[in-house]
């Protein structure tokens, strides 16, 4: 993969990558909202979240500050927007539809990655375009597969919930308030033990998917 050859190209490509990934995070949340609405819950619509206007979704720390800090300090982006409100009791099938609503977010990022991969292959050897495409694909897949980790409150926990018994489901979802603490403990603990959660759990499916898309990384 060719890299930008001068400072201007580097700054331009970084700016474009950040903007696209910023909107990818917004699309992730909007996808949750549309899925919930399609499955019978209008909570997101009443909250004005069926909109691609980023101001309706931005969490200034999670959507702007955190991704910038991670990008310039660690070389990857992870972030979040305001959680989409939904009432699972409005769904026809609580467990299934909650899982499908959660799954819509990561699926949107995978679809973005596929679309950008098409742009990469049609890029005709335009190195700056291909450089931007590779990183947008990588970061969208990272966002998708990280969120699919089945630990509350990540999307993967609700996807897993579709396959649990009712009793196990309620015990599992009861951990959601503590889930982010558990997640940070797992990440920090794994790093202290020399086991990087991102490298060992998330990067293998990301690399596999990029290989299937014909994207070098």
176 tagged catalytic:
no
- Proportion of the chain in helix, strand, coil states, percent, rounded to 5: 70, 0, 30
d(C-alpha 146, C-alpha 160), whole Å: 14
From CA 67, how far away is CA 65, in angstroms rounded?
Answer: 6
Neighbouring CB atoms inside 10 A of 58's CB total: 17
Rounded to the nearest 10 degrees, how much is the dihedral formed by the CA atoms of 160, 205, 106, 148? 30
DSSP state of 48: T
E strand or H helix at 140: helix 127-147
Number of Cβ within a 10 Å radius of residue 1: 12
Question: How far is residue 92's CA from residue 41's CA, in Å, rounded to a whole number?
Answer: 9
Catalytic residue among 9, 29, 167, 176: 29
Which tokens in the block code for residue 21? 């990934």
Catalytic positions are 29
């Amino acid at each position: 993969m060719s890299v930008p050859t001068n400072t201007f190209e580097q700054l331009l490509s970084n700016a474009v990558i950040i903007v696209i990934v910023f909107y990818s995070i917004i699309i992730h949340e909007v996808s949750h909202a549309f899925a919930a609405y399609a499955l019978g819950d209008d909570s997101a619509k009443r909250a004005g979240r069926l909109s691609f206007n980023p101001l309706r979704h931005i969490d200034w720390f999670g959507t702007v500050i955190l991704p910038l800090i991670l990008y310039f300090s660690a070389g990857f982006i992870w972030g979040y927007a305001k959680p989409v409100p939904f009432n699972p009791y409005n769904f026809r099938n609580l467990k299934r539809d909650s899982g499908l609503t959660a799954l819509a977010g990561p699926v949107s990022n995978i679809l973005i990655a596929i679309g950008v991969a098409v742009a990469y292959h049609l890029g005709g050897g335009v190195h700056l375009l291909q450089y931007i495409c590779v990183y947008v694909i990588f970061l969208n897949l990272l966002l998708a597969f990280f969120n699919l980790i089945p630990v509350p409150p990540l999307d993967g926990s609700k996807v897993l919930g579709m396959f649990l018994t009712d009793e196990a489901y309620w015990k599992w979802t009861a951990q959601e308030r503590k889930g982010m603490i558990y997640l940070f403990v797992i990440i920090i603990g794994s790093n202290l033990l020399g086991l990087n959660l991102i490298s060992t759990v998330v990067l293998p499916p990301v690399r596999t998917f990029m290989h299937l898309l014909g994207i070098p990384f």
